[in-house]
Amino acid sequence: MYRTNTCGELTLVNAGQTVTLAGWLQKSRDLGGLTFIDLRDRYGITQLTFNMDVNAALCEQARKLGREFVLQITGTVCERSSKNLKMPTGEIEIDVTDLKVLNAANTPPFTIEDETDGGDELRMKYRYLDIRRNPVKEKLMLRHEMMKYTRSFMDAENFVEVETPVLIKSTPEGARDFIVPSRLNPGQFYALPQSPQTFKQLLMVAGMDRYFQMVKCFRDEDLRADRQPEFTQIDCEMSFVEREDILNLFENLVRHLFKKVKGVDIPTMMRMQYADAIRYYGCDKPDLRFDMKFVELKSATNDIVSGAGFGVFDNAELVLAINAKNAALYTRKQLDELTEWVKDPRRGMSGLIYARVEADGTVKSSVDKFYDQEKLQAWAKACDASAGDLILILCGGTDKTRKAMGDLRLEMGNRFELRDPNTYICLWVLDFPLLEWNEDDKRWYAMHHPFTSPVPEHLDMLNTNPGAVNANAYDMVINGVEVGGGSIRIHDRTLQSKLFEVLGFTADEAKEQFGFLLNAFEFGAPPHGGIAFGFDRLCSLFGGSESIRDYIAFPKNNSGRDVMIDAPGPVASKELDIVGIKLNNI
C-alpha cells in the first residue's frame, strides 16, 4: 500500500491522524528552520512540513529534493497556522516523520504550473508533462465526464452501443481515406472509416432499432489549425422515426450534458430554416448569443437605397446593414480600421459604409452627400437604430456580401464582448437544400449523401424543380459552432431510384458505388434516420476552449505528426515487401 489517502482529501476532520501520501514535488520552500513542500497528485495538493528542530536529518533530506521528484511520505495531519481557504486541503499540513524518494526527476523543460512558461511545441513534445498541469488534466477529465453522461443517457433511451469495424473498404467519394495494405490479401487495401455511416444504416436494416457509438473516425485531409486526422464522433441512428423524434431526443441529450457536466439549464432549442440562417446571419451556423440580425436595405424584394445617385448601392445586388448597438462613439480611426478589415481578401468587400445615430436622433453617415436626413432616418428605422447606435453597411453580390457581413457581425460581437463564453444558445438549423448544381458537370450532386431523404412535402418537386427540394436534414449549432448534424435517410426503393435518376446514376453505377447497402435495402429496410456529433468539438465547447486539440490526450500537429512519439516514421523495406508495397521513389 503506497498511500492511505490522496493529496486532495485531507481536512481538519483528519487532524491527528497518521497518513501516508504519495505524489510529485510541486514546489518547496526552505525557511531555514522549516522546509515546506507542496505534494501534488491528480486529486490535489497537500502541504508537507519538515522541522530542523524535530528531525534535522529528514529536513536536510527534504531540502535536497528537486521539482517533480516522486515522493512517499508518512506523517501526522496538523492544523496549519496560516490557512489557505482557497484549496480543500488548505487548513492542514502534514508533519512528516518518514520520507522515501520513489523516483528522482530531471528538471522539467517547462514549469508544471497553471500558467506555464513552455511554448506549444515544447509542451506537445513533452505532452506527458503538460498533462500534469491542472488546465490540461481538467480538460481530459471533462472529456471523460462527457463520455460518461452521453453513454448513460443513450443507454437509458434504449440505444445499444455497437462497435463497427475500423478496417473497412475504401470508397471513391467523400474526403480522402487512410488506406492499410493487407498482407493476407496482397495488392488489396483496407480503409479507415471516415464515419460508420453505412454500418449504422445496416444496423437499422438488422433491426437494432437504436444504435449509438462513441467512435474514432479518420480523414486524410490537409490539416487546418483545428482539424485532426483522427477524431471522435457520437454516432447515432434510429429506426421508425421522423425528424421530430430525432430532434427531440438529441436536443435532450445535449441538455442532459449541459445539466450534468456544467450545471446549466438549456431551454427548448430554437429552430431556424437554413435559408433564414443564410439570409439573416450569412452562414449556416449562426451565433445567436447576440442579435445584430442582417437588415436588407436592398434586395430582390425591397430597396430603400437605390436611385439617390450613389452608384455603389445602385449597382449592388444586395445591400446589408447591421446595427451595432451603442457603438456610435466608435472613432474615425476604429472605423477606418474596420474598413480595412472588410477589405481584407478574406472578406473581399470594396468598402464599408456606416451611419451613426447621434444623441439628438439625427443620423450622420459616410454617404451624407447622397442621402438626406429623411432617407437616413428610414435606414435607422429599418435597422431599429436609436441614439448611440452605429449602422454598418456592406454591399455587392448576394453570396459574397452575406458571407462578409456574417464575418463582420461576429467581429463586432467579439469587439463588444457580446459572445459571452458562459452563455449557451443552442439552435437547430433545418431544411438544407437536398441537391447542389454543378455547372462544370451540368448535373446535380447530393449535398450530404445520396441516401438523405427529401422533406416529405417536397417529394413532388424532385422531377419538376430539384434545386428547390429541401433535405430532411438538420444541424445542431451552439454559439456559432456546428456540433452535430444528420438526416432522415431514404428507405423506400422507389424514392431511392428516383433520386439516383435525378443524380444521373444508372442502376449499374448506383450498384457499383453503393452495392452492399442497396442490396441490404432489398431485404426490408425500416424508415430510419440519425445524427453524429463531433465529440472533440463538443468537449471544447463545453470546456470553453477554441481548440479541439486541447481535448485530445495525444494530438497531432498540422502536419499530421505526433511530435512526442515522432510518428509517422520510416518502415524497413522488408516490412513493406511483406505487405506487397514499395515506396514510389525507389
Name which of residues 506 to 525 contact a copy of itself (CB under 8 A).
516, 520, 522-525
| Cβ contacts of 120 within 8 Å, gap of 6 or more | none
Q: Which of 12, 54, 70, 335 binds a copy of itself (CB under 8 A)?
A: 70
Q: Is 270 a binder of a copy of itself (CB under 8 A)? A: no
Strands of 358-467 (E only): list them. Answer: 363-365, 390-396, 426-430, 435-438, 443-446
Q: Which is nearer to a copy of itself, 68 or 235 (CB)?
A: 68
Q: Which of 137, 346, 364, 381 binds a copy of itself (CB under 8 A)?
A: 137
Length, in residues, of the chain: 586
Segment near a copy of itself (CB under 8 A), from 50-58, 197-205, 315-323, 436-444? 197-205
Residues 238 to 257 in contact with a copy of itself, rule: CB under 8 A:
240-242, 245
Q: Which of 486, 490, 428, 492 is nearest to 454 (CA)?
A: 490
Distance, in Å, from the CA atom of 398 to the CA atom of 421, rounded to the nearest integer, reads 31
Residues 150 to 169 in contact with a copy of itself, rule: CB under 8 A:
151, 155, 160-169
Distance, in Å, from the CA atom of 158 to the CA atom of 147, rounded to the nearest integer, reads 17
Segment near a copy of itself (CB under 8 A), from 97-105, 390-398, 425-433, 443-451? 97-105
Q: Which is nearer to a copy of itself, 445 or 554 (CB)?
A: 554
Q: Is 98 a binder of a copy of itself (CB under 8 A)? A: no
92-103 vs 70-79, strand pairing mode: antiparallel
Q: Do 400 and 376 form a contact (C-beta atoms < 8 A)?
A: no
CB of 508 to a copy of itself, least distance (A): 17
Q: What is the CA radius of gyration of the chain?
A: 30
CB of 47 to a copy of itself, least distance (A): 18
Q: Name beta bridge partners: 303.
A: 298
- Count of residues interacting with a copy of itself (CB under 8 A): 124
160-161 vs 210-218, strand pairing mode: parallel
Q: Which of 11, 60, 79, 103 binds a copy of itself (CB under 8 A)?
A: 103
Neighbours of 337 (CB within 10 A): 11
Q: Which of 52, 87, 140, 382 binds a copy of itself (CB under 8 A)?
A: 140
CB of 11 to a copy of itself, least distance (A): 18
Residues 457 to 516 in contact with a copy of itself, rule: CB under 8 A:
491-493, 516
CB of 116 to a copy of itself, least distance (A): 14
Segment near a copy of itself (CB under 8 A), from 10-18, 144-152, 355-363, 436-444? 144-152
The gap between the terminal CA atoms of the chain, to the nearest Å, is 57
Q: Which is nearer to a copy of itself, 479 or 496 (CB)?
A: 496
Residues 541 to 580 in contact with a copy of itself, rule: CB under 8 A:
552-554, 556, 559-562, 564-572, 575-580
Q: Do 158 and 210 form a contact (C-beta atoms < 8 A)?
A: yes
Q: Which of 122, 223, 261, 481 binds a copy of itself (CB under 8 A)?
A: 223
Q: Do 562 and 549 form a contact (C-beta atoms < 8 A)?
A: no
Q: Which of 88, 108, 135, 351 binds a copy of itself (CB under 8 A)?
A: 108
Q: Classify residue 163 as exposed, middle or buried by CB count within 10 Å of its CB (0-12, 13-18, 19+).
A: exposed
Residue 255 φ then ψ, to 5°: -65, -40
CB of 15 to a copy of itself, least distance (A): 24
Q: Which of 82, 301, 331, 585 binds a copy of itself (CB under 8 A)?
A: 585
| Cell output for 502 | 435525378
Q: Which is nearer to a copy of itself, 108 or 348 (CB)?
A: 108
Axis-axis angle for helices 332-343, 398-415 (nearest 10):
140
| Cell output for 158 | 434504449
